[in-house]
Amino acid sequence: QVQLVESGGGLVQPGGSLTLSCTAPGFSLDNVAVGWVRQAPGKEREGVSCISGGDPTILYKDSVKGRFTISRDNAKKTVYLQMNSLKPEDTAVYYCAIDTLCHPILNPTLYDIDYWGKGTLVTVSS
């Protein structure tokens, strides 16, 4: 069983920044897609960003383009999500996810994703 451990969530004011981390101890991230899915209160889960395995392709949800940056450190078995210019509508529980491809991660309501973390809460509020 793959364990994913997220950290870095918290309360931040609008316009602020946070960096989320997801570590997968004992699991190689080299050839898998890793990404972030979020779920706001009362809303469906939505894919936020994903970075594919191998020669990576990086994808973002339109509403976070230019504000969020995903990156991975395979040696540390960790993926990051740098979030800048945060907005109240970014408030959600953010989940780390692993799958063979990015498509399921970016469309979490349509597919069963292979592995999930337990999530970390991000609250954007003044």
Can you give the pLDDT at residue 20? Answer: 98
Q: What is the pLDDT of residue 63?
A: 96
CB 99 within 8 A of CB 107: no
Tens of each residue's pLDDT in the chain, 126 residues: 889 999 999 999 999 999 999 999 989 888 999 999 999 999 999 999 999 988 889 999 999 999 999 999 999 999 999 999 999 999 999 999 999 999 999 999 999 999 999 999 999 999
| Beta bridge mates, 82 | 19, 69
Q: Give me the pLDDT at residue 71, please.
A: 95
Distance CA 110, CA 44 (A): 11
